């Protein structure tokens, strides 16, 4: 086992400077930049620092990173979490943190945009603490550094920190064996055919190797390094652009080298058959999963059902078809459904009495239909029931505060003018101050001329008793934006 260079992924909110940081690192530290630099997007590049190298993954974001991991490809060794100190911790920051945690790799926090006039490092650190990231010096052990990716300040310290974290992790690989790793970029070139960037994690990839990536195979008729230079072989932690696959492999698929073409083809065909048995119908990053086993009387019926299921594609629930076949429902299918939490649906097939009894004992739902539209209506409703509810907000009015009276937190009596819409008991509100939301709550009572009324229309002054759920108390000059919320069941398109 020999030491190997770290593979690093950069994650964070969309506008917090990931791309700028990667560009800055690439322009100032890329290994071998005298050869003309990088002329194509290959998904990774190698930088040199103090005689050591670091491989950076140039991925679109945490979604792609998570997708790679879900396919079994543990591509990165260290993550850099970029957080802009003028904006703080945002929803995508939290998603990136979760992606890093799920991968079980160490990470470094790069607090970016320290040169901005509205930079607030303390607020950012507080936000990270609330998100469960405890920084060094703030009660935790997560390394962090303040940088300006645009100006380049702090970037050298960031790279040193990454190398230190990697050294502690004691990364190693055997460069003598056959190569293994993951596909990090792939496309079809009009001139060269299928082209894939492979990240080598073990062994050494050589020109002429028989490679399997998922259900795709081929012989490496040409290998290029990240800068586009021809290479005979590339070792651990190195990205390799490979030509020679029979099809374009999927990004995130693991790859392995086999002794000969026959073994490689057999492995690829076996994987293709396995994937045909398990299909996932989804888009985006689904929040949940609906698993089912589909049976039909003949192959034409099965293809029709699968085609209709594809129309249920949505971004909330992934529809996982664990098995699809023809013939009556069997004991093995009920047992499989019980093991994975799936339902079994059949079109123009039977579920014998013994199968129904087994389903009842194991808690599996087995349903058969004589008409395809009845089956699809059933599945549509079952999927929609699992979809997250949608909160619908309706703006009702604006109350401009003119005076504040008694305050007994979380309750407060305030007075103001309705400048838009109306005020009514039970309405929700957001408290605004200097164009920022600083609190929220509910109207418990409204009055006109010291008389309790149902509602107060636009243009009138009123007094109201409010209860804060967050923030407060209100001050003169504040604005209350009044609204209602209702919850609706989302529907498939």
From first to last of its 493 residues, the chain has per-residue pLDDT tens of 899 999 999 998 878 888 899 989 988 765 544 333 333 456 788 999 888 999 998 765 555 566 565 454 568 999 999 999 999 999 889 988 988 888 889 999 999 999 998 999 999 999 999 999 999 988 899 999 999 999 999 999 999 999 999 999 999 999 999 999 998 888 888 889 999 999 999 999 999 999 999 888 999 999 999 889 999 999 999 999 999 998 888 778 889 999 999 999 899 888 776 665 556 655 555 667 899 999 988 766 787 788 788 888 877 888 888 888 888 999 999 999 999 999 999 999 999 999 999 999 999 999 999 988 899 999 999 998 888 778 889 999 999 999 999 889 999 999 999 999 999 999 999 999 998 999 999 999 999 999 999 999 999 999 999 999 998 899 999 999 999 998 887 787 6
The pLDDT of residue 320:
87
The pLDDT of residue 372:
86
CA distance 190 to 193: 6
Instruction: Find where tokens 């996932």 sit.
Output: 280
Q: Is 250 helix (H, G, I), strand (E, B) or coil?
A: coil
- Which tokens go with 319? 């529809």
CA angle 133, 137, 47 (to 5 degrees): 70
Instruction: Find where tokens 């808690």 sit.
Output: 363
Concatenating the DSSP letter of every residue in 31-62 gives TTGGGT---S--SEEEEEETTEEEEEE--S-H
List Cβ neighbours of 187 (8 Å cut-off, separation of 6 or more): 194, 195, 248
For the chain, the distance separating the N- and C-terminal CA atoms, rounded to the nearest angstrom, is 54
The pLDDT of residue 310:
82
- What are the structural domains of the chain? 2-172 (3.40.50.300), 180-273 (2.40.30.10), 279-386 (3.40.50.10050), 391-488 (2.40.30.10)
Phi/psi at 426 (5° precision): 95, -10
């Amino acid at each position: 086992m020999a030491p190997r260079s770290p593979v690093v992924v950069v994650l964070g909110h969309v506008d917090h400077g990931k791309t700028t940081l990667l560009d800055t690192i690439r322009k100032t530290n890329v290994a071998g930049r005298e050869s003309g630099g990088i002329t194509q997007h290959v998904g990774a590049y190698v930088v040199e620092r103090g005689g050591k190298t670091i491989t950076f993954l140039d991925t679109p974001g945490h979604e792609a990173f998570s997708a790679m991991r879900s396919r079994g490809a543990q591509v990165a060794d260290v993550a850099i979490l970029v957080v802009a100190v003028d904006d703080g911790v945002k929803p995508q920051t939290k998603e990136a943190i979760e992606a890093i945690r799920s991968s079980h790799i160490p990470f470094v926090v790069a607090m970016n945009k320290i040169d901005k006039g509205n930079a607030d490092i303390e607020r950012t650190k507080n936000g990270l603490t609330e998100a469960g990231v405890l920084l060094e010096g703030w009660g935790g052990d997560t390394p962090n550094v303040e940088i300006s990716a645009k100006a380049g300040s702090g970037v050298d310290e960031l790279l040193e920190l990454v190398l230190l974290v990697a050294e502690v992790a004691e990364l190693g690989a055997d460069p003598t064996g056959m190569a293994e790793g993951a596909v990090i970029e792939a496309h079809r070139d009009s001139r060269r055919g299928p082209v894939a960037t492979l990240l080598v994690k073990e062994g050494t990839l050589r020109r002429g190797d028989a490679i399997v990536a998922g259900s795709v195979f081929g012989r490496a008729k040409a290998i290029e390094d990240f800068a586009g230079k021809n290479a005979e072989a590339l070792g651990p932690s190195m990205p390799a652009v490979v030509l020679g696959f029979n099809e374009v492999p999927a990004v995130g698929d693991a790859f392995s080298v086999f002794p000969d073409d026959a073994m490689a083809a057999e492995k690829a065909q076996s994987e293709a058959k396995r994937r045909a048995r398990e299909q996932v119908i989804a888009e985006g990053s689904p929040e949940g999963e609906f698993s089912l086993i589909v049976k039909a009387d003949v192959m034409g019926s099965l293809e029709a059902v699968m085609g209709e299921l594809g129309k249920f594609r949505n971004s909330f629930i992934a529809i996982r078809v664990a098995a699809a076949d023809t013939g009556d429902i069997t004991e093995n299918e009920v047992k499989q459904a019980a093991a994975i939490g799936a339902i079994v649906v059949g079109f123009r097939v039977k579920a014998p009495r013994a199968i129904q009894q087994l389903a009842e004992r194991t808690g599996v739902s087995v349903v058969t239909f004589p008409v395809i539209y009845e089956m699809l209506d059933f599945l549509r409703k079952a999927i929609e029931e699992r979809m997250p509810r949608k909160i619908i907000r309706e703006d009702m009015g604006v109350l401009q505060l003119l005076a504040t009276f008694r305050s007994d937190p979380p309750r407060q009596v305030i007075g103001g003018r309705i400048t838009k819409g109306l005020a009514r008991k039970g309405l929700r509100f957001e408290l605004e101050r200097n164009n920022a939301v600083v609190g929220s709550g509910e109207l418990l009572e409204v009055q006109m001329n010291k008389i309790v009324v149902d509602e107060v229309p636009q243009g009138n002054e009123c007094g109201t008793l409010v209860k804060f759920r967050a923030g407060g108390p209100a001050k003169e000059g504040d604005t209350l934006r009044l609204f209602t919320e209702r919850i609706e069941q989302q529907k498939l398109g």
